[in-house]
Amino acid sequence: MLKLEDSYIHKGQRKSLIDLLKRKGITDPAVLDAMNTLPRHFFFDSALASHAYEDKAFPIGEGQTISQPYTVAFQTSLLDISPGEKVLEIGTGSGYQAGILYLMGAQVHSIEYNQKLYETTKKFLSKLGIRIKHYCGDGSLGLPDKAPFDKIIVTAGAPVVPKALLHQLAVNGKLVIPVGDRTTQKMMRLTKKSPKNILQESFDNFSFVPLLGEEGWNKADL
């Protein structure tokens, strides 16, 4: 069992990671502050905790990963979060990304497909005092009952932009989603200028685990 202790060594490692993110071009002070505050090693299995402040993705069980810190910083910066905004995250995973959004003052709704990860992460975030709404299900369909959302972030690689997510975005809302094949995806940001006018921007390539579900990949084809 991992002891939840945030030592001065961890704090120093976290500060070095933040400096690295700045050198890689992350400038949003709110993103950097949240990532400097939330101990990433809490989200690791004790056997891997010494790697928590490397800029790498790591396994979290169930064949899934905690995203690379640069990826979390990049996606969160693209979302351009203001406190109080209602944000939908697809792919709760370890809960780290949700924790960053929570610390930035967002009202976070996060949905995870894998039942075991959903249960473990829900308990864990509550233990850390990170209060978000958890759902278990196919996030490629969004959460129609809770829409509209000011921001939507997808943390798994999608074959296409799910129509349901665009539909559930508020006017002036932003959807940040990696779209591509099973190994490489382009980071996309879609801004809903009006119900029929969507501004689409594309950024660098990333490599995510696949988004499963109705508007994602079919598990049997992977």
Which residue among 42, 53, 149, 208 contacts ligand SAM (CB under 6 A)? 208
Compute the C-alpha angle 91/131/190, nearest 5°: 40
- Work out whether 209 is an interface residue with ligand SAM (CB under 6 A): yes
Write down the residue that tokens 């406190």 correspond to: 83
Compute the C-alpha angle 147/151/157, nearest 5°: 100
- Decide: 176 and 96 in contact? Cβ < 8 Å: no
d(Cα 10, Cα 152) in Å, to the nearest integer? 31
Tally DSSP H helices, then E strands, for the chain.
Answer: 6, 9
Query: Which region, judged by CB under 6 A, interacts with ligand SAM, from 27-35, 110-118, 166-174, 183-191?
Result: 110-118
- Work out whether 138 is an interface residue with ligand SAM (CB under 6 A): yes
Which residue among 17, 32, 34, 66 contacts ligand SAM (CB under 6 A)? 66
- Work out whether 180 is an interface residue with ligand SAM (CB under 6 A): no
- Work out whether 158 is an interface residue with ligand SAM (CB under 6 A): no
The alpha carbon dihedral of 136, 188, 40, 208 has a sign of: positive
Which residue among 67, 76, 77, 168 contacts ligand SAM (CB under 6 A)? 67
CB of 43 to ligand SAM, least distance (A): 7
Which residue among 69, 93, 173, 178 contacts ligand SAM (CB under 6 A)? 93
77 included as an active-site residue: no
Tell me which residues are annotated as active site: 67
